[in-house]
Each structure stands twice: as structure tokens, then as C-alpha cells.
A = this chain, B = another copy of it.
Amino acid sequence: MELIVEVLNITAGGRRIAILSEETARMLGVHSSDRISITYCERQLIAIANVASHFPKKHIGLYEEISETLGLKTDETVEVHLAELPESLRHVRAKLRGERLGEHDVNTIVKDVLERHLSEVEISAFLTALNIYGLNMGENEALARAMIETGDTLDFGEGPILDKHSIGGIPGDKTSLLVVPIVAAAGFTIPKTSSRAVTSPAGTADRVENLCPVDLGISEIKTVVEKTNGCLVWGGALELAPADDLFIQVEYPLGIDPLLLPSIMSKKKAIGATHVTIDIPTGSGAKIKNMTEAYSLASDFVDLGMRLDLKIQCALTFGEQPIGYAVGPALEAQEALMALMGGGPADLKEKAVSLAGMLFEMVGVERGRDKAAHMLQSGKAEQKLREIIEAQGGNPRVKPDELPVGAYKADVTAEQAGRVLWISTADIASIAKTAGAPRAKGAGVVLKVKLGETAKKNDVLFEICAERSSKLESALELAHRLQPAVLSKKSENQMLLDRVPEKVASDRPFMLER
């Protein structure tokens, strides 16, 4: 049927959507969400029909995505037909019934997600079904491969190319800021891409941004890595796995994360990594709650690595409290810098040395842990981070106290004396976010005591920093409500860990920082 074009002069967020009146839709035999083919001057394109009640009949409304692709102007005429169900939608429907998908099936889905042939409704149903049924290893592999094949890749030449990744879930985890310079200082290549915070108070890219720009293009990254062996950049704009970026947009409002494995592995493979340590923080408030879950996930990572020709070792790490003391972009950058300069918290340095040591041993270095410790203690890692900062366009002579942090500060003190028995990482994250992190880079939380340490009544448990007084007040109020640290003189006097539902249900942080 011939229809008259009405160009809407607005994008549909990348979606290929066309608007039809109810009457025109009925004449075409089209229901809302059906596919239609639009033909103009021998060019054809498949769009998803939205049926609107108040739209002129015999017209078709086209968002910019379509009008630009076909070179159409308002009042031109196009030929429109009901198109067949895309093959990918059949596979999505099969997954809704719990069927397992083969490599070909997954490829058609990923391709159609990228080409916008699948609607958000369909992608949402697909991801929900994956989240409920789980993925088998064949599906994980197929998804990882499809994500790699449809994205850009980086090539740093002869290997080994090392990398480190954390599945996230612990506030204050600035370990990458130490591991990358330790590994690069030893002469190995480690082109580290990281995410920004989505639901957490700081991602690695947010932390590094206090020291130097992180928003580098592919050729800039290559220059930095050639010069310094390493980099610490934001991976979000690199199109390493653009399909995954689209999946994340749908997962985000749902608070689900079914693609953890293929998402991480595809991005490691895309930057050309050959040897990767995956950090799996394990703790009651972390993404992974206990060692059983952690071993199972670790085994899946190793298995998927073998299928993708990627050497993987997983580190199961202590995740019952924040890493170091600082939580929030600038506060964490300060703390990482201090740790490289010889000070800083012991747990952070221990974790960084362990992970770097694992990487060294994976590529044949004996006593890798000692080598990592030497790189850190000798100041070579600090020197290397300053080289990377300079190569990425920052000030290589930056001092920790030059990084601006929030001017509004308040202490949260102990209501009773005792030993710290429990720290809720999710609550610490919520307080830091309420204080303004990650948007306010200088906002966050600084712990003054950690697990096992003792405090007297009225001793400071943690400090809140904010860039605005109203944010500080909100965070302080939340801190008093949540009471994220549990103290007791003796553990047998404090058997109650939490009250449900008296305690406010906080959103799950660290959802999609993978």
C-alpha cells in the first residue's frame, strides 16, 4: 500500500519505528509491534509499527532513523507492506518457552538487536527469560562470540596481553589503579578499559578521571600503551561490544544482570587480552554471597575462557567490607595514589599485589607475588602510574592532597563501645551515593574503623564528604537510619544482624558495573 510520509524530525533513540493510524494499520493487516517493510526508490528497510489513535490515515510517520536512511522528505510516497516475523523473534520466543539456543540462533538475535529489528519489548522478554532460566555454557560462548564479532577490536601486537577485571560489588575497590601500573612497570602490556558507575558510588573510570582524562579513542589508547605498556581508560565509548551496551540499557531498569559472563569476556577478548585475572569479591553484601557461588562462577569463567582461547584465573577475594577506607571517586583516587607512594591501606595493597602476582605467574614469572610487591615497594609502580597519567593528558606530578574533595564533612560516631563485627557494604554505597557520588566527584565516605577494630563510645566510625550541604544532611540522615556498622563488646552479645523490613530496602548497588 502506498502511504504518504510525514517526517517527524526527531530520533527514536536509534530504534526504527514508524507510526500508522489505526485505520491504516487495519487496512495493512498490521498490529502494533508488527514489522513493516518500507520501500522507497528501490531501497527497502524493515521498521516496527506503532499504531497511534490520532494520526492521519494513509500517512506514515517516520523518525529520523528511517527518514535519513531512506533519504525521505515529508509528503513523499513510500510502499508499505506487512513484513514477516524476523527469524530472531522466533528464537526469542523459543527462549521464553525455556528452549536452549544454538550459536546460529544467538547470532540472529544479537544481529537484530544491533540493527534495531528487535523491539525493547522483545529484548526485555529475552533478557528476563535468560535471567530466570540461566544460560548454559554454549549460550554464553555464542553470546560472547556474537558480541565480539559485532564490535571493534584492539590489537597490541605480539602477546602476552594481560588484563584484570573485577565483577564488582564492593565499594572502595580501587585495586585496578594499583594493578595496572604494577604489571606495566614489570614490562608487560596491560591495556585496561573500565566502566563508569551505573548503580555504584564509583567505577574505575570515575576514579581515574580525577587524575587524567579517561575518554580516549582507540588510536589514543594505542599511543598510550605503546609509550607506557598500560592505560586506564573508559571503555564505554569504544564500541567494543555495542550489542552489550544495548542489552545494558534494557537490563538497567529491570535490575537484572544475566549477561555477566559473556559481557565481561567479550570485552576482554575485544581488547586482545591473552591472560586475565577475574576478581570475584565474595561477601554477604557483595554480588556473590558465599564461596559456593564464587567457585561455581569462577569455574564458568575458566570454562568460557578455554572456549574463547583466553587464559583465565579467578581470584576469590574477601568482600565483607570496603577495600581500603575511602569510597567515592576523588577520595579513592587519593587513597590509591597514597598506596603507590608507600602509604595507604594494607588490604588494598595486599589485594593488588595478589592479583598482579597471579598475572605474573600466569605468564611464567616465578614468585610472581614477590615481583608484584617489589614493583610496588620500589616506587616503580608509582612512577609507571605517573607515566600513564601523563600519557593520557594529566599532571604526572599530582599529589594526593591536590585532588579536590567535598568541603562539607560530618562524622558518624559510635553509639556504644565495642569491636566492629559487621559493615554493610550496600549501606556504605548508598550513603556515598546520597552524599553525591559519583556525579559529585569529591563526595563519598571515609571509614575510620574496619572489621575487627575497636571503638570507644563517640569515636568516629566514618566521615561523610559532600560538595553541597543539603547532600551532606541527606547522607547523614541515611547513615543514622541505616547504621551500616555493627559494634559489640562481644559477638555473643549482638546476635541480631539486621531487621527486616524495619530497615529501608536499599536499591542493589553494583548491578551493571561488570
- Residues of A at the B interface (CB closer than 8 Å) are 8, 10-11, 13, 19, 26-27, 29, 31-34, 50-52, 54-55, 61, 85, 89-90, 92-93, 96, 98, 119-125, 127-129, 131-133, 198, 249-250, 252-256, 439, 505, 507
| Residue in B51, B128, B198, B507 whose beta carbon sits within 8 Å of that of A129 in the complex | B128
| Residue in B122, B127, B132, B249 whose beta carbon sits within 8 Å of that of A253 in the complex | B122
Establish whether residues B54 and A11, one from each chain, have CB atoms under 8 Å apart when the complex forms.
Answer: yes
Q: List 28 A-B contacts (CB under 8 A).
A: A8-B8, A8-B10, A10-B10, A11-B54, A11-B55, A13-B50, A13-B51, A27-B439, A29-B439, A31-B198, A31-B252, A32-B249, A32-B252, A33-B249, A92-B254, A93-B254, A93-B256, A96-B128, A96-B255, A120-B120, A120-B121, A121-B253, A122-B254, A125-B125, A125-B254, A128-B128, A128-B132, A132-B132
Q: How far is the CA of A505 from the CA of B91 in the complex (A)?
A: 12
Q: How far is the CA of A84 from the CA of B387 in the complex (A)?
A: 42
| Residue in B32, B51, B98, B252 whose beta carbon sits within 8 Å of that of A132 in the complex | B98
Establish whether residues B131 and A124, one from each chain, have CB atoms under 8 Å apart when the complex forms.
Answer: no
Instruction: Chain B residues near A92: list those with CB within 8 A.
Output: 254
Instruction: Chain B residues near A507: list those with CB within 8 A.
Output: 85
Instruction: Chain B residues near A123: list those with CB within 8 A.
Output: 121
Q: In chain B, what residue has the closest Cβ to A433?
A: B29
Instruction: Chain B residues near A128: list those with CB within 8 A.
Output: 96, 124-125, 128-129, 132
Q: How far is the CA of A132 from the CA of B134 in the complex (A)?
A: 12
Q: How far is the CA of A98 from the CA of B256 in the complex (A)?
A: 13
| Residue in B11, B120, B439 whose beta carbon sits within 8 Å of that of A52 in the complex | B11
Instruction: Chain B residues near A55: list those with CB within 8 A.
Output: 11
Q: In chain B, what residue has the closest Cβ to A27?
A: B439
> What are the 8 A-B residue pairs with the smallest beta carbon separation, nearest first?
A124-B124, A33-B253, A128-B128, A125-B128, A121-B124, A29-B439, A124-B125, A125-B254
Q: How far is the CA of A213 from the CA of B290 in the complex (A)?
A: 65
| Residue in B54, B124, B131, B505 whose beta carbon sits within 8 Å of that of A120 in the complex | B124
Shortest beta-carbon distance from A84 to chain B in Å? 10
| Residue in B13, B29, B85, B255 whose beta carbon sits within 8 Å of that of A93 in the complex | B255
Q: How far is the CA of A456 from the CA of B403 in the complex (A)?
A: 92
Instruction: Chain B residues near A127: list those with CB within 8 A.
Output: 125
Q: In chain B, what residue has the closest Cβ to A50?
A: B13
Q: How far is the CA of A26 from the CA of B11 in the complex (A)?
A: 19
Q: In chain B, what residue has the closest Cβ to A51?
A: B13
Q: In chain B, what residue has the closest Cβ to A121?
A: B124
Known: A93-B255, A121-B250; 9 extra A-B contacts, CB below 8 A, are A26-B439, A33-B249, A33-B252, A93-B256, A96-B255, A124-B124, A124-B125, A125-B128, A128-B132
Q: How far is the CA of A294 from the CA of B125 in the complex (A)?
A: 27
Q: How far is the CA of A85 from the CA of B433 in the complex (A)?
A: 15
Q: In chain B, what residue has the closest Cβ to A17?
A: B13
| Residue of A54, A252, A253 contacting most chain B CB atoms (<10 Å) | A253
Shortest beta-carbon distance from A184 to chain B in Å? 30
Establish whether residues B253 and A89, one from each chain, have CB atoms under 8 Å apart when the complex forms.
Answer: yes
Shortest beta-carbon distance from A160 to chain B in Å? 36
Instruction: Chain B residues near A19: list those with CB within 8 A.
Output: 10
Instruction: Chain B residues near A8: list those with CB within 8 A.
Output: 8, 10
